[in-house]
Amino acid sequence: MKMRRTILGLAAALALALPAAAQQRIPVGHLMDNSGATSDVGLPYGQGVADTLAWVNSARNGINGRLLNVLGFDYGYQAPRAVSQYQAWSRDRVVAIQGWGTADTEALVRFVTRDRIPYISGSYSAALTDAAGRSGRQGVEATPFNFFYGPSYSDALRGMLRWAADDWKARGQQGRPKYVHMGANHPYPNSPKEAGETLARELGFEVLPAIVFALTPGDYTAQCLTLRNQGANYAYLGNTAGSNISVLRACQTAGVNVQFLGNVWGMDENAMKAAGAAANGVVFPVRTSTVWGQQAPGMETMQQISRVSDQSGTTYRPVHYLAGACAAMLMVEAMETAAANGGEVTGVRIRDGFYARKDWVPRGFDGVCAPSTFTAEDHRGTMRIMLYRARVNGDTSQGSIGELMQAGTMRLEPVTTIELERKRELLGW
């Protein structure tokens, strides 16, 4: 009888211990667009985040021995759904969130500031970089808990415009080059519009009236004819790759001769395959120091992460996958800093973990994740703009992306790296 009571006591203790152990997991939110207007780039980025957080649990035993409880949600790029989900996550007491779009990220700024929850977004809106709220810009408020990996949309465009001005001269062109902003009338493509047009004027460009096209694929022949009639020389594509592909194809058909500048979400290997020759020559920023297949010490780690969702290890990972992995690792290492020496993993301590390093490359990711530096006043993680050119020199309809890249039918060609000055007057803009 005594033995039976002992066994029952042990069983009861174990039953109580299991929920307690489960509660030891650290809750983290992961907002994804797997089905909405930006899912063309949201899927690979979100997969990179998800695989990395799963790998941290399996290969690194979580955060100082505590596993992550990743709460994923596909919000279909609908800002109201993101706000509703945030409220659910705040009740679940998540300590940090991997977020996504500009409209929803900006809508949540006051919430994450109030609740002290670090929010690492896929939006690179410059309005998210004024951490202390001291820029004085209209509509820009303090964002002490907002972070992202890579240059802001505005800084990336500034880098491309500086390259474009040099490119115009290098090609021996006469007169003032003509620049036009293209994209949907939406917070994401509009985010760098004013900053880009202002710098373009300063650099001597003639700035043409903006051309609007939707975030979804469609027939954009009319926009291309406008582009041709305006005589534009450089055109910024502010949308994600899905709708940009439609523009590139329509403009190729219309015989438009213009240098397209893609925003960071505006071009990738998937878009190159889909657009074919129409994508040839597009210049766009890449956030990582290398792309898939290039040699770097940290590429072995990235390949391990890739095997989380591709056990064969044969899938080619586009630029957004790598960026998602780097963004996830910044959050992870900020959490590790918070947990060091028995510290509690709270939002405030995670935020402060983002300030603990300069020229920060997550361990094991050397040569892949570009260095980041954040301060309590300035959340511009980098001022380095690495530009690549999409090269397509054959039929992309046959074969996988990996096969096309290996064969040289498609390639990402490094163009230049622009180092921008960290001007205080441009913070938040």
Tens of pLDDT, residues 136-194:
887 789 999 999 999 999 999 999 999 999 999 999 998 999 999 999 999 999 999 99
Cα atoms in the Cβ-side hemisphere of radius 13 Å centred on 45? 30
Contact between 151 and 125 under an 8 Å Cβ cutoff? The reply is no
Cα–Cα distance, 359 to 420 (Å, whole number)? 15
Cα 292 to Cα 25: distance, rounded to the nearest angstrom? 32
Tokens describing residue 98: 């991997």
Q: Is the dihedral of CA 131, 368, 300, 279 positive or negative?
A: positive
With CA atoms as reference, report the closest residue to 130 among 367, 376, 384, 383.
Answer: 376
pLDDT digit string, tens, across residues 246-273: 999 999 999 999 999 999 999 999 999 9
Backbone angles phi, psi at 337, to 5 degrees: -65, -40
Q: Which residues pair with 96 in a beta bridge?
A: 28
pLDDT at 139: 76
Which tokens is 300 given? 């072995």
Residue 380 backbone zone (phi > 0: left; psi -120 to 50: alpha; other: beta): beta
Q: Output the pLDDT for position 230.
A: 96
Domains in the chain and their CATH numbers? 153-290+383-426 (3.40.50.2300)
Q: Who contacts 50 (Cβ-Cβ below 8 Å, separation ≥6)?
A: 30, 32, 70, 72, 308, 309
Burial 216-250 (b: 16+ CB within 10 A, else e): ebeebeebbebbeebebbbbbbbbbbbbbbbbbbb
How far is it, in rounded angstroms, from Cα 123 to Cα 53?
A: 19
Q: Give the pLDDT score at 130.
A: 97
Residue numbers in the chain where pLDDT is lower than 70 = 1-23
Query: Comparing C-alpha atoms, which of 280, 302, 278, 263 is closest to residue 126?
Result: 263
